[in-house]
Structure 1
Amino acid sequence: MKVLVKPERCKECGLCDAFCPKKAISHADHTNLAGYHPVVIDDEKCIGCGICYTTCPDGVFHVLGK
């Protein structure tokens, strides 16, 4: 599975970082329009488990099927 990110929705809450079992989530060097550093997914580490999707209160993540 692949995880897509909607960077404009990210508020840097840190929940996805804390719960990602593969530590595949980091934050960009740039900011979004709201002034936050949006999340970035490392596709090599990501296993598509969907925990980021489940924990995110702001709807940043979209998990695509195979």
Structure 2
Amino acid sequence: MPKGRIEVLEEMCKSCGLCVEACPNKVLKISDRINSKGYRPAEQYKEGCVACKMCAMMCPDVAIEVYRIES
């Protein structure tokens, strides 16, 4: 099974949570940190990303990049 890494562009994220709901492996959550715009950006908080890019496709702010990790 492929592995992936999720990078959230924190200043673009508006904490809508669509990515959290879309992730089939539930590796995203809304952060406790607050960005400069007053939002709590999403973050990858555990292993298990398979680089399916569902989170990135759902993000209305195009604030998520997904990278496949080659083993």
Q: What's the TM-score bracket when you normalise by the shorter of the two chains?
A: 0.7 to 0.9
- The structure with the greater share of residues assigned to helix is 1
When the two chains are superposed, the root-mean-square deviation of aligned CA atoms in Å is 1.3
Quote the Cα distance in structure 2 between the aligned partners of 1:43 and 1:3. 10
Q: Structure 2: which 5+ runs fail to align?
A: none
Paired residues in the alignment total 66
Q: Structure 1: which 5+ runs fail to align?
A: none
Q: Structure 1 residue aligned with 2:55, among 46, 52, 56?
A: 52
Quote the Cα distance in structure 1 between the aligned partners of 2:31 and 2:45. 11
Q: Deviations over 1:16-49 (max 9, x none)?
A: 1111101111111110011011111135121111
Q: Structure 2 residue aligned with 1:61, among 61, 64, 67?
A: 64
- The structure with the greater share of residues assigned to strand is 2
1:17 — aligned with what? Answer: 20
Contact 2:5 2:67 survives alignment (8 Å)? yes
Q: Percent identity?
A: 36
Matched position secondary structure for 2:11: helix
For normalisation by structure 2, the TM-score amounts to 0.81
